[in-house]
């Protein structure tokens, strides 16, 4: 997990809805939105595993997850779940509204990453490691567009970031940078790996999410009924 990028714009005519969990379920189109959410979360975990196996530097939040794994005898995915739940506790004083996607993000990305890690080996050559890193970063952007576009709410880290920005009055960019610098620093001190992959992800994920979000955002607007002429 990971970093949960927050898009700054939604595609025209398909705005991202700021609604609670009950409203999310009542908004309709569940036959499209639920598979999109689940596929996006699975691919997000898979993308994390790809970047890890490339061994060229971890996604910012994964620097923390890997660092913690050096001190606690749990799987990478289990640690991702634990950190996600701790982050969700930070939502309480911020009065953030969780959604189905929030809970799914917290509980499903870790097991997905563990599953892919169990079948994906570290490439032998540098070229293949670079290919795996680039593929993982791009897939993460696709997965971000899918799970956010399903309109079931942000991930735990997204909500922490937007909540802190609202409470402090700081910009999203400033708050996001501050959180990620702190997370990477703590993860590095615990033994996580910072490298070119960390920097590449930080630079590329925003534009990638902005690129793919319009392709996957599900329109929750109700069509206007035709009028008799």
Q: What percent of the chain has pLDDT over 90?
A: 53
Task: Give the whole-angstrom CA distance, residue 141 versus residue 145.
Answer: 6
**Residues 126-177 pLDDT 10s:** 999 999 999 999 999 999 899 988 889 888 988 888 788 788 887 767 887 8
Tens digit of pLDDT for each residue in 11-70?
Answer: 444 677 777 778 888 888 889 999 999 999 999 999 999 999 999 999 999 999 999 999
pLDDT of residue 78: 97
pLDDT in tens, 180-225: 889 999 999 999 999 999 999 988 888 888 889 889 988 887 444 4
Q: Using alpha carbons, select from 209, 192, 206 the residue that is nearest to residue 58.
A: 192
**Complete DSSP assignment for 177-191:** HHHHHHHHHHHHHHT
Count CA atoms closer than 13 A to 16's CA, side-chain side: 21
DSSP 105: H
Q: Is residue 8 scored above 50 in pLDDT?
A: no
- Let me know the angle formed at the C-alpha of 156 by 41 and 42, rounded to the nearest 5 degrees: 10
């Amino acid at each position: 997990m990971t970093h949960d990028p927050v898009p700054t714009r939604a595609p025209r005519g398909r705005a991202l809805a700021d609604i609670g969990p009950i409203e999310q379920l009542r908004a309709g189109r569940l036959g499209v939105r639920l598979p999109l959410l689940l596929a996006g979360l699975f691919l997000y975990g898979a993308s994390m595993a790809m970047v890890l196996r490339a061994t060229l530097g971890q996604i910012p939040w994964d620097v923390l997850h890997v660092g913690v794994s050096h001190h606690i005898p749990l799987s990478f995915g289990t640690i991702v779940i634990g950190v996600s739940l701790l982050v969700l506790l930070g939502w309480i004083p911020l009065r953030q509204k969780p959604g189905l996607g929030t809970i799914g993000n917290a509980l499903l990305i870790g097991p997905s990453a563990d599953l892919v890690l169990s079948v994906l080996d570290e490439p032998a050559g540098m070229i293949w490691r670079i290919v795996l890193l680039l593929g993982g970063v791009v897939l993460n952007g696709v997965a971000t567009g899918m799970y956010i576009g399903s309109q079931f709410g942000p991930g735990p880290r997204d909500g922490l970031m937007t909540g802190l920005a609202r409470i402090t009055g700081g910009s999203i960019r400033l708050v996001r940078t501050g959180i990620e610098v702190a997370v990477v620093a703590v993860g590095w001190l615990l033994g996580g790996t910072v490298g070119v992959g960390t920097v590449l992800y930080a630079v590329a994920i925003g534009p990638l999410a902005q690129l793919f979000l319009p392709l996957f955002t599900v329109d929750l607007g109700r069509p206007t009924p035709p009028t008799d002429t």
